[in-house]
Amino acid sequence: MSNLLSGLEALGLGGVSDMEVYEDVETKTKREKKEAAGAETHERTEIDYLFEKTHTCPVCDEEFKSSAVRTGKAKLIGTDTDLRPRYQGVDPLKYDAIVCPRCGYAGVNRFFTAITTPQAKLVLEHISKKFNATLKLDGVYSYDDAILFHRLALASAVVKRSKLSERAYTCLKTAWLLRAKQEDETTNEKEKSALHEQEQEFLSSAYDGFAEAMSKETFPICGMDENTMLCMLADIGRRVGHYEDAGRLISRVIVSRTATERIKNKAREIKDLIVEDLTKANHAE
């Protein structure tokens, strides 16, 4: 029967020419539902969440593209107690560091363009003159790619003498990536042990940086108010074994007059974890 409608392609109605003239409504509805269900069950891969974003390097003015996650496409499924977000289908953390392929300048997305002319000169002098790598900035990033890019972002932050909070924030993001790689099913037990040690080093550095930044910078810091920062810092302290300091920090949130009930409940959860971990540490001695 489809031949009865042939020739309509010339009018731009190619899809119409495939219709059955006497297909009943019920059959059509069932077919459409089946097709819709097939489309919904299409399993997305990581590349489906990505696009190529154009950047202009604030150091050398190079225009380049790198992979980025489409806004609103990644579904948040949870958050670790130190605020590391977890997503379904793609880990946006892998694409947060932006790297200029020409001069080697890098920065996490929040701080990539936050650079002054004197700071750019420092990057050109200490990084760009030595940078000679060829980086793959398109397609899916591995965790190794992402960790490398974040290390380069940290190097740029150190070289340009950025705020303490920027360096601490970059260390924290790197620690989260190292944790994520430990959770990856392709990572073996030997690798997990080494990755955990590196995660602890980056967390310790983030803890030191944020603790000092709180005394020298004004809030909000990295988009966080004081109570959110205290909760995060207390949990990082717990993770690296600074139990007493972590306990003092979290107590400040619990008794705070400005903290919301939601943040206080989070603080109580972290306090319980601190007590639990401290008890385990004491029994291990």
Kindly report whether the global pTM for this prediction surpasses the value 0.75.
Answer: yes
What CA–CA distance (Å, rounded) separates 121 from 110?
21
DSSP annotation of 207: H
Q: Which two tokens stand for residue 212?
A: 């000092």
Q: b/e per residue, 213-240, with b = 16+ CB within 10 A? A: bbeeeeeebbebebbbbbbbbbbbbbbb
**pLDDT, tens digit, for every residue of 164-189?**
999 999 999 999 999 999 999 999 99
Q: What is the dihedral of CA 51, 79, 163, 211, to 10 degrees?
A: -170
* Residue 107 near residue 114, CB atoms below 8 Å: yes
> 260 vs 133, which has greater pLDDT?
260
Fill in the amino acid letter for 3: N
What CA–CA distance (Å, rounded) separates 42 from 79?
27
**pLDDT, tens digit, for every residue of 67-113?**
999 998 899 999 999 999 999 999 999 999 999 999 999 999 999 99
Q: How far is CA 118 from CA 58, 114, 123, 124, 160, in A?
A: 12, 12, 9, 10, 8
Q: Which residues contact 22 (CB under 8 A, 6 or more apart)?
A: 1
All structural domains of the chain with their residue ranges: 2-40, 48-214, 225-285
What CA–CA distance (Å, rounded) separates 75 from 90?
9
What CA–CA distance (Å, rounded) separates 223 from 109?
13
**pLDDT, tens digit, for every residue of 207-250?**
999 999 999 999 999 999 999 999 999 999 999 999 999 999 99
* Residue 60 near residue 124, CB atoms below 8 Å: yes
What CA–CA distance (Å, rounded) separates 230 from 235?
9
Mean pLDDT to the nearest integer, 262-269 = 97
pLDDT at 11 over 70: no
**pLDDT, tens digit, for every residue of 126-138?**
999 999 988 989 9
DSSP annotation of 218: P
